[in-house]
């Protein structure tokens, strides 16, 4: 900054104002400063700025599995909203390991990051129980924490699941199975509850079948084989996410069962591969980018000390009918 000031012939304070508060200097001075910056190649010292402001200028998006394409649009939304506020975004990958998750919380507490958007649905042990440590700035996206007053952006998982199963029932299916996510995680429990509610409302309580998975293609394949070997065999499967659905379809193909002629399959999330799958996957669409934007907006409010909503922000979903669902086979 001193080099820029000498080059232009002004004080370092003037250069600082030209960068941070350009309205407080003349247009001619601002243009000279900008030209000097380009000529010299000046880059602001972020470390010095962070020491002065006690901010890192960074937030963390913590996810279960960075390889899951579901998170890409959410990251895009978070990054766009963060960039508009001069913030950078790191993605933290826990792989469902408690120690990894604890470390990301420590980064915020140690001010290596200013705040966190949490998408794992659980807290490290240090933040639970009677002697729980105070939470750092955190917003929960899509999951929610029972008994904790944390800003949250989510969807109505039970309602969306109920709508998906109602659609299968409208197609004439009566033997409808469900491959869930990990139980007792809240999101998995809610989607399973929606499935059960739809089945019971249609008088199909006697056929309720739930097989727990872990949101992976492999789990979908394994649970799909188990369900399709059963008798009477289901004619439709509602899956807790699209990756599970793809695994179930792979299992059906390996067993010579046609989708959707003999088996209808519906997923959840509408990941990028869903529409390009063969046949294209019926699913429940979440507004993932918008969820990322809203979560980042809430976190920014927290960081600025502004009041945040005391109730969760619930985003809409949409049932997408594609080629993996059809009327019940005769």
Confidence of residue 130 (pLDDT cuts 50, 70, 90): low
Q: Is the pLDDT of residue 202 over 70?
A: yes
Q: Is the pLDDT of residue 23 over 90?
A: no
Cβ atoms of 20 and 13 within 8 Å: the answer is no
Q: Is the pLDDT of residue 70 over 80?
A: yes
pLDDT for the residue numbered 305: 86
What structural domains does the chain harbor?
2-44 (1.10.260.40), 53-155+289-315 (3.40.50.2300), 157-285 (3.40.50.2300)
pLDDT for the residue numbered 280: 97
pTM of the model: 0.79
pLDDT for the residue numbered 95: 85
Strand partners, 210: 178
Confidence of residue 155 (pLDDT cuts 50, 70, 90): very high
Cβ atoms of 136 and 124 within 8 Å: the answer is no
Mean pLDDT of 74-78: 95
Instruction: Name the percent of the chain lying above pLDDT 70.
Output: 95
Mean pLDDT of 125-134: 71
Confidence of residue 132 (pLDDT cuts 50, 70, 90): low
pLDDT for the residue numbered 179: 97
Q: Strand, coil or helix: what is 271?
A: coil
Structure tokens at 93: 């990958």
pLDDT per position as a tens digit, 231-241: 999 999 999 99
pLDDT for the residue numbered 256: 97
Q: Is the pLDDT of residue 321 over 60?
A: yes
Q: Both ends of the chain: CA-CA distance in Å?
A: 78
> Which range scores top for mean pLDDT: 50-54, 249-253, 309-313?
249-253
pLDDT for the residue numbered 183: 86
- Distance separating alpha carbons of residues 42 and 51, to the nearest angstrom: 19
pLDDT for the residue numbered 93: 92
Confidence of residue 254 (pLDDT cuts 50, 70, 90): very high
Mean pLDDT of 244-269: 97
Report which of residues 96 and 256 the model is more confident about: 256
Q: Is the pLDDT of residue 262 over 90?
A: yes
pLDDT for the residue numbered 161: 98
Report which of residues 182 and 130 the model is more confident about: 182
Mean pLDDT of 46-73: 76
Q: Is the pLDDT of residue 268 over 80?
A: yes
Q: Is the pLDDT of residue 153 over 90?
A: yes
pLDDT for the residue numbered 98: 85
pLDDT for the residue numbered 133: 77
pLDDT for the residue numbered 217: 94
């Amino acid at each position: 900054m001193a080099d820029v000031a000498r080059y232009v012939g002004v004080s370092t304070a003037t250069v600082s104002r030209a960068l941070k508060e350009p309205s407080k200097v003349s247009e001619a001075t601002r243009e000279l400063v900008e030209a000097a910056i380009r000529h010299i190649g000046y880059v602001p010292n972020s470390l010095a700025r962070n020491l002065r402001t006690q901010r890192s200028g960074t937030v963390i998006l913590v996810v279960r599995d960075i390889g899951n394409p579901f998170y890409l649009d959410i990251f895009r939304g978070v990054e766009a909203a963060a960039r508009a506020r001069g913030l950078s975004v790191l993605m933290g990958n826990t792989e469902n390991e408690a120690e990894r998750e604890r470390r990301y919380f420590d980064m915020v507490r140690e001010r290596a990051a200013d705040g966190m958007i949490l998408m794992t649905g659980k807290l490290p042990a240090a933040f639970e129980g009677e002697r729980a440590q105070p939470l750092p700035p955190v917003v929960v996206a899509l999951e929610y924490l029972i008994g904790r007053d944390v800003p949250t952006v989510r969807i109505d998982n039970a309602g969306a699941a109920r709508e998906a199963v109602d659609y299968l029932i409208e197609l004439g299916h009566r033997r409808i199975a469900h491959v869930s996510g990990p139980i007792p995680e809240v999101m998995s429990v809610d989607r399973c509850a929606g499935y059960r509610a739809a089945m019971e409302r249609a008088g199909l309580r006697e056929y309720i079948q739930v097989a727990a998975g872990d949101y992976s293609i492999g789990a979908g394949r394994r649970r799909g084989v188990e369900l399709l070997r059963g008798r009477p065999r289901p004619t439709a499967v509602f899956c807790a996410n699209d990756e599970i659905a793809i695994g179930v379809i792979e299992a059906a193909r390996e067993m010579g069962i046609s989708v959707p002629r003999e088996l209808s399959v519906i997923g959840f999330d509408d990941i990028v591969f869903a529409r390009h799958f063969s046949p294209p996957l019926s699913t429940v669409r979440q507004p993932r980018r918008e969820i990322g934007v809203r979560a980042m907006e809430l976190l920014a409010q927290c960081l600025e000390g502004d009041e945040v909503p005391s109730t969760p922000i619930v985003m809409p979903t949409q049932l997408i009918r594609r080629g993996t669902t059809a009327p019940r086979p005769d």
